Amino acid sequence: MSDFNRGYARTVPADRADMSVDAGLRSFMLGVYNKLALGLVLSAALAWLTSAYEPVMRMLYVTTADGRLAGFTALGTVIRFAPLVVLIGAMFMRNPTARSSGFLYWAVVSLIGAGLGVWLLAYTGSSVALTFLITATAFGALSLFGYTTKKDLTGFGSFLIMGVWGLVLASLVGIFWHPPGFNMILSALGVFIFAGLVAYDTQNLKMSYYQMGGDTGSMAVATNYGALSLYINFINLFQFLLQFFGQRR
């Protein structure tokens, strides 16, 4: 689900694009990162609302007497799977506009954010905060690498995208089969795959910028799709890192 900004051909090789002197590119990437940051803030607010504000929490989750997560209500189950349905539907969207791609971004961010309360119910607040800081630090370093490297990451990215589908398949298998250590292995693979996708998607965004040739409409769409790809990478990286750093309630 991290493949929304790859409709533009790579007409400028990664080792020939001088990113350090291009103010237009910096402005474009800043727009992507600003939208990503706002999306994360909105997600955090919705996660707090759905986990701490009891009337809303009762609509989505079933909890034990001491506040631990015990299950999902019907509405909670719908919200849990709604982002995936929206993303799959978006794959069939033709000729997206700035408005439609922006609506898609905020819809996905809102739905995912509303479902993130489950993490605050399942893990202690301090461990969630620590994992967020680790994720943000790693994300920043990986995105900087993708922005500055002169190595073309196309082949590596294709391998990682195949890995995402492998993760999806393994997760489905894990519903019915629970061998010892399976979840930890899956989480380790998830960290590797989405860490790589952060770098790959960042480089792909800067190559897309050069291909668009200053078309403001295309850049507005690419900003939304680029922020969406990086947002999904961040959320998934955070989720898998929680398996290692999160402390369950």
Structure-block tokens of residue 97: 């506009």
220 falls within a domain = yes
- Residue 15 pLDDT more than 70? no
In a domain, 12, yes or no: no
What is the C-alpha to C-alpha distance for residues 60 and 81, in angstroms, rounded to an integer? 13
Scan for tokens 């103010």, then name that residue. Answer: 23
Half-sphere exposure of 231 (CA within 13 A, CB side): 33
pLDDT at 67 (0 to 100): 65
With a cut of 50, say whether residue 1 has pLDDT above it: no
Instruction: Please say if the pLDDT value at position 150 is more than 50.
Output: yes
Q: What is the rounded distance in angstroms from the CA atom of residue 109 to the CA atom of residue 196?
A: 22
pTM metric for this prediction: 0.86
Q: How many domains does the chain have?
A: 1
Answer whether residue 11 is part of any domain: no
Measured CA to CA, the distance from residue 32 to residue 98 in angstroms comes to: 13
pLDDT tens digits, 178-227: 777 788 888 999 999 999 999 999 999 998 888 887 777 888 999 999 99
Residue 41 has pLDDT above 80, yes or no: yes
Which residue range is the domain that position 230 belongs to?
A: 19-245
Token pair 């630090």 is found at 137
